[in-house]
């Protein structure tokens, strides 16, 4: 945290998040696991929003809990945390990005 915030029980200098950039095989493995394992495990999942593109073909979605990934041991989790996944594509438009992600198996809402 950049500064202390008593309401959130944060102190200056505390780590409150991280960012990871995946490329190559690791990126494709993560995307495959996200689409085929994690998203279907979400409660009441009916597809991801087709509107969450940024205007340049990149897509962002938020997950409320990290426990949808099977590698995470429920007993070792002290607090359920969410995460944001941003998928940066080479597409130039949202429609190109939507088609690319659909071909990769992304389950968009109808």
This prediction has a pTM of 0.80
In a domain, 71, yes or no: yes
The encoded tokens of residue 59 equal: 């897509």
Q: Spell out the residues 6+ positions from residue 14 whose beta carbon is closer than 8 angstroms to its own.
A: 1
In a domain, 76, yes or no: yes
Q: Which domain holds residue 30?
A: 19-103
What is residue 79's three-state secondary structure? coil
Determine the pLDDT at residue 103.
Answer: 96
Q: How far is CA 76 from the centre of its chain?
A: 21
Q: What CATH code is carried by the domain that includes residue 42?
A: 3.30.1440.10
Determine the pLDDT at residue 32.
Answer: 95
For the chain, the domain total comes to: 1
Determine the pLDDT at residue 96.
Answer: 96
Q: How far is CA 98 from the centre of its chain?
A: 16
Alpha helix (H) ranges present in the chain?
24-33, 94-103
In a domain, 109, yes or no: no
Q: What is the dihedral of CA 27, 83, 102, 90, to 10 degrees?
A: -50
Per-residue pLDDT of the chain (110 residues; tens, 9 = 90+): 888 989 988 889 888 888 999 999 999 999 999 999 999 999 889 999 999 999 999 999 999 988 899 899 989 888 888 899 999 999 999 999 999 999 999 999 98
């Amino acid at each position: 945290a950049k500064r202390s915030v008593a309401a959130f029980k944060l102190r200056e200098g505390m780590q409150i998040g991280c960012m990871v950039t995946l490329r190559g095989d690791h990126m494709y493995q993560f995307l495959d696991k996200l689409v085929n394992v994690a998203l279907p495990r979400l409660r009441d999942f009916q597809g991801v929003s087709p509107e969450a593109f940024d205007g340049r073909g990149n897509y962002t979605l938020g997950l409320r809990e990290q426990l949808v990934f099977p590698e995470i041991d429920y007993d070792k989790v002290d607090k359920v945390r969410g995460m944001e996944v941003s998928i940066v594509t080479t597409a130039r438009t949202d429609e190109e990005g939507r088609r690319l992600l659909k071909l990769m198996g992304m389950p968009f809402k109808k």
